[in-house]
Each structure stands twice: as C-alpha cells, then as structure tokens.
Amino acid sequence: MNAIRHALFLARRHLLHHRQRTALLVAALFIVGFLPIAVENLVQAGERALRARGDATPLVAGAPGAPIDLVLSALYFRSPPDKELRNAEIETLVEGDLARVLPLVLGDRVLGGPLVGTDPGYFEFRGLGIASGRAHAVAGECVVGAAVAAREGVEVGDRITTEPREFFDLAGAYPLRMEVVGILAEGDGPDDEAVFTGLATAWIVRGLAHGHDDLAESDDASLVMDDIEGEAIIATAKVREFVEITDENRSSFHFHASPGELPVTAAIVIPFDEKGRTILLGRADVGRLPLQLVDAAEIVDRLLVEVFRVRRILMGVLGVVGLATLLLVGVVVALSIRMRRVEIETMHLIGCGPGRVPLILATEVLLILAVAAGLAFLAGGLVVPMLSGAERLILG
Amino acid sequence: MISGYPTRVLVIEDVQFDYPAARGEGDGFSFGLRGLSVDRGETVAVIGPSGCGKSTLLRLAAGTLRPRSGTVHLDGADLAALGETAMRAVRLRSIGFVFQDFRLLDHLDVEENAMLPFRLGGLRADAAARTRVRELLDGLGIGHLRRRPIDRLSHGERQRTAIARALATDPGLVLADEPTGNLDPSNKRVILEALLGTARDRDAALLAVTHDHDLLDAFDRVIDLGTAVPA
C-alpha cells in the first residue's frame, strides 16, 4: 500500500512537471476514447428520437418515389421529394371516412427554417402545446416553433417574411409577410425549428394563389391592358400585388387552380382503426392511385439499418486510428523511459526495489489513461445534451 | 561493525575484478586491490589516473559489481553472501551516493529529492524522517530552499541537495564520485567541506573519487590507486 502511495506521488509529480507532454498524451488518448463514445451516444440518441417520431406517425402518403425521402420530408420537413401529390388524390385515398389526414405543404423557408403548411390539428396530433398566442386560423397567420422564436427573438404580433425561392426570378412569387399569432412550446423535435401556417397560406407563398387590386372596381384605366367583356380583364404591370394578407385585402386573394389540383408534399394519414389501415394500404398497393402510402416506423427501421452500417464502418475506422494512436503513445512512452535511463539507474542505485520503477512508470501510464478515459466519458456523455437534435445530426 | 574493528565500516581485502574485452579489442581490463578499510567518520579521497579503477572501486564498495575474488565487507556483512534483495536493502540503509552530475529528479523539489530514498525504498517517510531531512537541509544551508524546484537551483545548491539525499537514511558509508567535478572553482571547497562536515557530523565514512588534487588536504586520508598495491 505504501509502495502504491509513493508510486502515485512520484508519478503525479512527474506528469505535472512535464505538463505539455502529459497534455499531449492525454489529448491523443482522449480523442481515441471520445470519438467512439460520442458516435455511439449520438447514434443511440438519434435512433431513439427517430424511432419515437416514426412510431408516432402511423402512415405517410406521397407521390411515388423514394419512400425514405418521403418519410423524412413528412417527419423532419427536409427538402421535399421532386414529385408531389394533388389534393384530390389524397381525398380519393381516404374516401369513405377511413382516416384523418394532415396534409403537409413544404418547400418554402422563413427565418432560416422550413415553412410548413398544414392543418392546425397537426399540433394536437404531435402533442405540441402553444406557449403563447393561438394556433393559425386564417390565411396570412403563422405559428413559430420554440427554437426559431428563441433564436430570432420572435413574439406574438410580429410580422415575418418568407424567403424568396429564386432571387432573380422576376416572374416568381413575391415573399409573403405573415403575422405571428402563436409560439409553440418546446417539443424537443424538428417542430421547434419550423414555422407553421395554413395550407392556403403555403400555397399563396408558392404563388398558386394571390391577391391584387380589384380591376373590376378600379377607376384607374392605366391598370387595365385589355378588357374582354364578360370573359377576363388583362392587367398591366402597374397592378398592385399584395404581399401581406390583411382584413381589408383578404377577399381579393384567389386561386388560379381548382382545389383538387393544388399540390401536397406529403400527408400524414391516421387510420381510425386497423381495418381502415388495411383498406388504405390495399388501395395504395393496387396502384390505381398515383401515390405511395408507407408505414413511417418501417421506413425509419430501414433508414436505421443504413445508419448502423455506417456506424460499423466508422467504428472500424476509429478502431484502426485508435490502435495507431495507442502504438504512437507506446512509442512516446518507450522513448521517454529511454530518456530517463540515468534517472532509473539512480533509483536502482539508491536501493529501489525491483518492482518499484516499473510500478512508478505503470502508474504514470495509468494516470494518463484514467484522465483521458474520464474526460472521454464525460465529454461523450455531454455530446447529446449539448448537440440538440441528435437525429438531425445523423440525417445531416 | 567489523569484528575486532568496532568503528570499521568498509573493509576490502584482496579483490580482483575483470572487465571483459570489448568486441574486436585486445585483453580486458583487470582491477585488483590488496586491501582497504574505512572507519566511521573517516573521509578518504581516492585518486589516480584515468582508467586505474577508481569508479570500479566505488562500484565494488556499493555491491553493484561482484569481485572475481576477494571480499568486500560493509558494516560487517560480506556483500558476496547477500542476495539481490538483501543487497538493495544494504544500499538503501547503509550507503549514500553523491554523483558528479547530481542525479536529482527534476520533477521533485529540494526536500522531496532528499526524501527520495524513503519513497523508493519503502521506508517510512514519516514525520521523523522529514524532520531529519530538514535538519540536514538546514545544516547544508539550503533549508530555505526546500520547496524550490531543482531546475531553479545553482549547481552548488544541487550538490548540497544530493548530499542531503545521500545522508537522509543515516548511512554508515557515503560513496562520492567526483562530487566537485561539476562545480566552479570558487564553490568546490565550500561544497566539499559541506560534504565532509556533514558526513563527519553523522559519523559516516566517506569514500570519494576526485581529480581535484588541491582539495586533498581536506580529507583524512588519500589513496592513490596509481601507486596502490594490486592484489
């Protein structure tokens, strides 16, 4: 016991005296330990979050294509798939009151996050509370996710403007100013990073509906290029297009397509019962409808298989890098012992016991390993809480 | 204690030691000495030309070399009869070492360097040991430096620290290999007198190899291995 106490004292003093070398060795071993722990913790946290969101989402409908892209769009509001559904196709799918549908219109952005056009029922479905204000009710209103609100300092009553899709597309849709009517309570998920609005507003942002001066009522002749009696009035470029929906101009907003033709990126389909679910899957499977209906949890499982495969490869690479680092650390320790030959010889001459010098050297190595391992576990454990949204990190 | 010689610490009789020849060279080196004894409190200087075996004599006295023939007695114990473990114990308790290049541990301060034999040898590094070490440091004039790191000491202070380490366990014999070899001329006599005085105060015998012939007058006895009678 005495020997270990003295060895600890001498080892500690030696390591503290050679601070830079000790710090370098600790840092090298810390990285070797930290990376696998961090990757493992991130993957586990990501897996839990992905599964939880997948399990909470019964079925997802969308246009034919890669099901993973569809599910990630519906669950995480990631870039929408190239193809979209028509509103009418979803109505046909759930015909007969088999399920509740929450359509999602994605693709536009606001305050650096996704703008999600959906039914206010989405909040109830995801169990999201409203921290202040209320849910969106009419066109032009929006509800901001907790993280966006905190980051951008947004409050109820503020106006926020959508980001234009193409800066130089003169014929494109104008950005729309929306009124913030609610801030979501923190939900620890992708909803915190999004801004929610109604389907109509999302379509307006896309340019599928708009509002402008009423040419029929206007006395300004310079607004009218041509008036085809009883058919249409062709406006000049002077006509004023509204970039904000107000009580005064709301009635001027109109669609240039029938409601059934309007696009929907994806739809969360919640069957009322198992029978309904079976019928819905059958309908989609028959192929009469140009859509796919997938089980979100099943697709998440398929995605996780890929994630685990990548993790295995990454762990293999980290293992090789770790081994190389350990060998290098071994070389540094061996060289250090060589450089301490006179010191060791003196210790023996003074009367040091046969196992005492190896005990001191081993204690030094163990102290370095212990500090590096401790730091690695500590930092590895802090990675997930510090990097919120582990699943989003995994998804890139 | 040597039987019949109550104050004798080290007795070397008819020792012969052979260094094997280096590869590709001629005959090896052979060292022989008919007899040498050193009493408690006695200070002996060993001089002689390079290669005459001064360091070999110290190593034989320390038991790190075993003679081909002859005997080395330390405090009455025949070193040839001791196993490795017993030999280490003898070195730890009965022999102190002072080196030309000090051989102090840079990562320890003055006091901890002087305490090193206790930590390395498994002796009790208790309050009594620490008090003894502090007395030694005070006696050597470096008591006020006891918490100072080695790399912030002058050469003279380092050698005083090495002397304190050598005498920390109250050994009967101090072996010094060129103890003033690394010191500037003005410091040599001061440090040597500190070494000799401390050894005498502690009733320890001192066997010191030196090339500083102008310091020989400080020793009780001088052995010139260049003229000593070989075994």
Joined together, the tokens standing for residue A243 give: 């970039």
A349/B62 Cβ within 8 A: yes
A13/B108 Cβ within 8 A: yes
Nearest to B92 among A6, A9, A351 (CB): A351
> Model pTM greater than 0.80?
no
B122/A350 Cβ within 8 A: no
Question: Picking from A9-23, A58-72, A204-218, which range would have the lowest pLDDT averaged per residue?
Answer: A204-218
DSSP letter at B228 equals: S
Chain A, chain B: beta-carbon pairs less than 8 Å apart:
64
Does the pLDDT of residue A293 top 60, yes or no?
yes
Q: Specify the pairing of strand A141-144 against strand A195-197.
A: antiparallel
pLDDT of the residue at A391: 63
At A277, give phi and psi (nearest 5°): -60, -45
Closest alpha carbon within chain A to B84:
A354
Joined together, the tokens standing for residue A26 give: 């600790």
Does the pLDDT of residue B2 top 50, yes or no?
no
Contacts of B93 in chain A (CB under 8 A): 351
pLDDT of the residue at B153: 94
**pLDDT per position as a tens digit, B108-150:** 999 999 999 988 887 777 898 999 999 999 999 999 999 999 9
**pLDDT per position as a tens digit, A103-136:** 999 999 999 999 999 998 999 999 999 999 999 9
B103/A346 Cβ within 8 A: yes
Q: Rounded to whole angstroms, how far apart are CA atoms A276 and A98? A: 5
Nearest to A349 among B64, B85, B119 (CB): B64
Q: Degrees (nearest 5) of the Cα angle A71, A75, A81?
A: 45
Amino acid identity, residue B184?
D
Q: Rounded to whole angstroms, how far apart are CA atoms A3 and B116? A: 12
First to last CA, chain B: 24
Three-state secondary structure of A181-221: EEEECCCCCHHHHCEEECHHHHHHHHCCEECECCCCCCCCH
A17/B120 Cβ within 8 A: no
**pLDDT per position as a tens digit, B180-201:** 988 888 889 999 999 999 999 9
**Is B175 part of the contact surface with chain A (CB cutoff 8 Å)?**
no
A13/B103 Cβ within 8 A: no
Residue A250 pLDDT grade (very low, low, confident, very high; cuts 50, 70, 90):
confident
Q: Rounded to whole angstroms, how far apart are CA atoms A99 and B199? A: 101
Mean pLDDT, residues B52-70 taken together = 91
Amino acid identity, residue A105?
V
CB B92 within 8 A of CB A351: yes
Does the pLDDT of residue B4 top 60, yes or no?
no
**Is B107 part of the contact surface with chain A (CB cutoff 8 Å)?**
yes
pLDDT of the residue at B24: 63
Q: Please name the residue ranges forming H helices in chain A.
A: 2-17, 19-55, 67-76, 87-93, 121-126, 146-152, 199-206, 274-286, 296-339, 341-350, 356-386, 390-395
**pLDDT per position as a tens digit, A52-82:** 999 999 999 999 989 999 999 999 998 888 8
Contacts of A18 in chain B (CB under 8 A): 107
ipTM: 0.85
Mean pLDDT, residues B41-60 taken together = 91
H or E element, residue B93:
helix B84-94
CB B159 within 8 A of CB B98: yes
CA A43 → CA A5, A31, A46, A181, distances in Å?
A: 41, 18, 5, 36
Does the pLDDT of residue A396 top 70, yes or no?
no
A352/B121 Cβ within 8 A: yes
Contacts of B165 in chain A (CB under 8 A): 350
Q: Which of B190, B188, B132 shows the shortest CA–CA distance to B164?
A: B132
CB B160 within 8 A of CB B187: no
pLDDT of the residue at A142: 95
Does the pLDDT of residue A306 top 50, yes or no?
yes
Contacts of B122 in chain A (CB under 8 A): 2-3, 6, 353, 356
B84/A354 Cβ within 8 A: yes
Measured in whole angstroms, the distance separating CA A70 from the mean position of its chain's CA atoms is 15
Q: Rounded to whole angstroms, how far apart are CA atoms A191 and A47? A: 18
Residue B6 pLDDT grade (very low, low, confident, very high; cuts 50, 70, 90):
low
CA distance A9 to chain B (A): 9
Nearest to A353 among B93, B122, B165 (CB): B122
pLDDT of the residue at A87: 87
Percent of chain A whose pLDDT exceeds 70: 94
Average pLDDT taken over every residue of chain B: 88
Question: Picking from A246-250, A262-266, B43-47, which range would have the lowest pLDDT averaged per residue?
Answer: A246-250
Q: Rounded to whole angstroms, how far apart are CA atoms B216 and A172? A: 104
Q: Which of B125, B44, B43 shows the shortest CA–CA distance to B92?
A: B125
Mean pLDDT, residues A140-151 taken together = 94
Amino acid identity, residue B214?
D
Mean pLDDT, residues A232-251 taken together = 76
Q: Which of B86, B115, B95 shows the shortest CA–CA distance to B205?
A: B95
Amino acid identity, residue B105?
L
Q: Rounded to whole angstroms, how far apart are CA atoms B20 and B26? A: 10
B107/A14 Cβ within 8 A: yes
pLDDT of the residue at A101: 93
Closest alpha carbon within chain A to B166:
A350
Domain range B8-224, its CATH number among 3.40.50.360, 3.30.70.2970, 3.40.50.300, 3.30.1310.10 = 3.40.50.300
Percent of chain B whose pLDDT exceeds 90: 61
CB neighbours (10 Å) of residue A327?
A: 10
Mean pLDDT, residues A79-97 taken together = 87
CA distance A27 to chain B (A): 21
Does the pLDDT of residue A345 top 80, yes or no?
yes
Closest alpha carbon within chain A to B119:
A6
Closest alpha carbon within chain A to B96:
A350
**Is B112 part of the contact surface with chain A (CB cutoff 8 Å)?**
yes
A17 or A46, which is more confident: A17
pLDDT of the residue at A388: 62
HSE-up (13 A, CA, CB side) for residue B8: 15
Q: Specify the pairing of strand A209-210 against strand B95-98.
A: unpaired
Closest alpha carbon within chain A to B58:
A349
Residues 46-105 (B) with a CB less than 8 A from some CB of A: 62, 64, 84-85, 88-89, 91-93, 95, 97, 99, 101, 103, 105
Mean pLDDT, residues B210-217 taken together = 91
A18/B120 Cβ within 8 A: no
A237 or A305, which is more confident: A305
Question: Picking from A23-27, A239-243, B98-102, B124-128, which range would have the lowest pLDDT averaged per residue?
Answer: A239-243
Percent of chain A whose pLDDT exceeds 90: 53
Closest alpha carbon within chain A to B109:
A13
What are the extents of the domains in chain B? 8-224
Go through chain B and tell me how many residues it has: 231
Residue A8 pLDDT grade (very low, low, confident, very high; cuts 50, 70, 90):
very high
Q: Which of B195, B230, B219 shows the shortest CA–CA distance to B29?
A: B230
Average pLDDT taken over every residue of chain A: 87
